[in-house]
Structure 1
Amino acid sequence: MKTLMKHVIILACLFYIGIASAQQKDIKLPPEATEFWEPVPRKVTPGTANHLAPDDAIVLFDGSDLSHFESVRDGSPAKWTLANGAMTVAPRTGDIRTKQSFGDMQLHIEWSSPTEIKGEGQGRGNSGVIIMGLYEIQVLDSYESRTYSNGQAASVYKQYPPLVNAMKKPGEWNSYDIFFTAPRFNQDGMLTAPAKVTVVHNGVLVQNAVELKGPTEYIGIPNYKAHESKLPFVLQDHGDLVSFRNIWVREL
């Protein structure tokens, strides 16, 4: 594990030095410039767990309605479909977000990729849990489909690959337990402490208190900008029929 992380850190440093140099020269970068494919997180077989919400949790989705969510596009009621205790992305209706805002939190969320397999890599069961609408934990069918390591399921998208690949088969339910510490800014808008996140995927630790480099960027390197201490989190409509259930938060 230590060897893997050492290699990841070295590659990431070289990776971002090169990108920063290119950006200083005002060179336009393709999205592939922030992807790395090695090392590949090894696969593990996840265990099973009971994910009932504790009594101090804020239950945002129990399968009965979408009343705690709204459209990111215009603030209207969430338009995703509801069936069998789960919500499913309705493609092209847009991302949805929580009506309530959160800062430091423990977030539990379960998700399932489509049983009908279409595409490969980023085109297969793609969605995301975007904390504060800025910091994305990737949702993707990475069970037997290769993509860039810092873009597979349970990655901090385009920043950190998961320590291991703990994916379940398409159609089975995955769980994320996300422990998030929001970034801190002073009164002048300067960053005083970066955001941190720990992610447990199907009971397996895959992100261990990593420091986020800034908000998620598809192209280029991330940079912090001051924002509110609490913001809604977002579930992404990437055009795939990804389902979610059993969503709850404990504010920390």
Structure 2
Amino acid sequence: MSLIVATVMAVALSAVAQQAEPQMKHQDTEVYAPVPPAVTPGKNDGDPPSDAIILFDGKNQDEWVSAEDHTPAKWIVIDGTLKVSKEHGVGNIETKKTFKDYQLHIDWKIPTTIEGSDQARGNSGVFLASLGPGDAGYELQVLDNYNNKTYVNGQVGSIYKQAIPLATPSRKPGEWQTYDIVWTAPRFNENGSVKTPAYATVFFNGVLVENHFELKGQTLYVGKPFYKAYDKAPIKLQAHGDKSEPISFRNIWVRELTFDPSYMLK
């Protein structure tokens, strides 16, 4: 058989095979169920939507406890804000509820009277999963970096000691700032090994600073990160113990997220 004849036969067979395959219609890739739940957005950007769990509305600390012993939180509520009480000593607080995957919104403000430099200038943290006093957990750094130099994997907007932020859109001390966070918790196998790692996406003052960053484990001050198996965990706010007036928090809410694989095209 000549090369020309073989080529013609191959082309013919390919054409027959293509004709035998059913031609797809646009309806074949359209999905109508399950229908996503309706959510009423907040009136303004940053306001909680209808399905949000309100963690702090400016009135009380009912959704929070001491991270050390789970006694009632001993921070103070003043002028609609939540801040560390120096009269009761410093101490981290965490949510009574535990969470897995979620969307979190939180406003925070560095005081105009802030003092210090480097890491001792408005230092706090939003811990995306608090694993107890003996573990570091997973920290998104809070710090004044408007005019304050520090190591970039520990500056504001960093996943502490792991992810350098993509930008530094800090406002001046005395001005409110916002974090909008999407947290995907790690999954573990029955033997405690990592099945899928944790991911974090962070918008800081509306600017993307962490883009679906894959965490290597807990955010340690010293040493290499590692994972420790857990299912759900509280969200924690850090009282760092700086000598200056503590920072303020307000408008804290969270939306629990669930992944439904039936939305995916087969």
Give the TM-score taking structure 2 as reference length. 0.75
Per-residue deviation, residues 13-51 of structure 1 (Å, max 9, x unmatched): xxxxxxxxxxxxxxxxxxxxxxxxxxxxxxxxxxxx721
- 1: CA distance, partners of 2:255 / 2:45: 17
Match of residue 51 from structure 1 = 46
Matched, 1:248 2:244: no
Q: Which residue identity lines up with residue 255 of structure 2 in the other structure?
A: R
Deviation readout 1:191-236 (Å, 9 max, x if unpaired): 0110000000000000000000101100011011111x21101100
Cα distance in 2, alignment partners of residues 140 and 177 from structure 1:
16
Residue 65 (1) aligns with residue 79 (2)? no
Q: How does 1:1-252 map to 2 (within 5 A)?
A: 50-91=45-86, 92-133=89-130, 134-227=137-230, 229-240=231-242, 241-252=246-257
Deviation at 1:188, TM superposition (A): 1.1
| AA aligned opposite 1:53 | P
Q: 3-state SS of the aligned residue for 2:119?
A: helix
Q: Give distance in 2, aligned partners of 1:238 and 1:90.
A: 12
Q: Secondary structure at the match of 1:87?
A: strand
Distance 2:94 2:52 in 1: 18
Q: Give me the whole-angstrom Cα distance separating, in 1, the residues matched to 2:208 and 2:125.
A: 18
Structure 1 unaligned spans of 5+: 1-48
Query: How many residues end up aligned between the 2 structures?
Result: 203
- CA drift of 1:242 comes to 1.1
CA contact (8 A) 1:112 1:174 kept: yes
Q: Is the 8 A contact 1:90 1:239 kept in 2?
A: no
Counterpart of 2:7 in structure 1 is none
User: Does structure 1 conserve the Cα–Cα contact (< 8 Å) formed by 2:90 and 2:240?
Assistant: no
Shift of residue 81 of structure 1? 1.2
Partners of 2:59 and 2:177 lie apart in 1 by 20
Instruction: Kindly state the Cα deviation for residue 114 of structure 1 after the two structures are TM-superposed.
Output: 1.6
**CA contact under 8 A between 1:90 and 1:237: conserved in structure 2?**
no
Contact kept? 2:94, 2:237, Cα under 8 Å? yes
CA RMSD of aligned residues (A): 1.0
Contact 1:59 1:249 in 2 (8 A): yes
Give the AA of the match of 2:251.
Answer: N
Please give the alpha-carbon distance, in whole angstroms, between the structure 2 residues aligned to 1:114 and 1:100.
29
How many angstroms apart in 2 are the aligned matches of 1:219 and 1:90? 28
Q: Tell me the distance in 1 between the aligned counterparts of 2:220 and 2:98.
A: 22
Measure the CA separation in 1 of the matches of 2:224 and 2:205: 29
Once residues 62 and 235 of structure 2 are traced to their aligned partners in structure 1, the CA distance between those partners, rounded to angstroms, is 15
Measured against aligned partners, the alpha-carbon deviations of 1:46-83 in whole angstroms (never above 9, x if no partner) come to xxx72100001001100010000000122111111111
Query: Counterparts of 1:244 and 1:98 in 2: how far apart (Å)?
Result: 14
Report the Cα offset of residue 115 of structure 1.
1.1
Find runs of 4+ consecutive structure 1 residues off by over 2 angstroms.
90-93
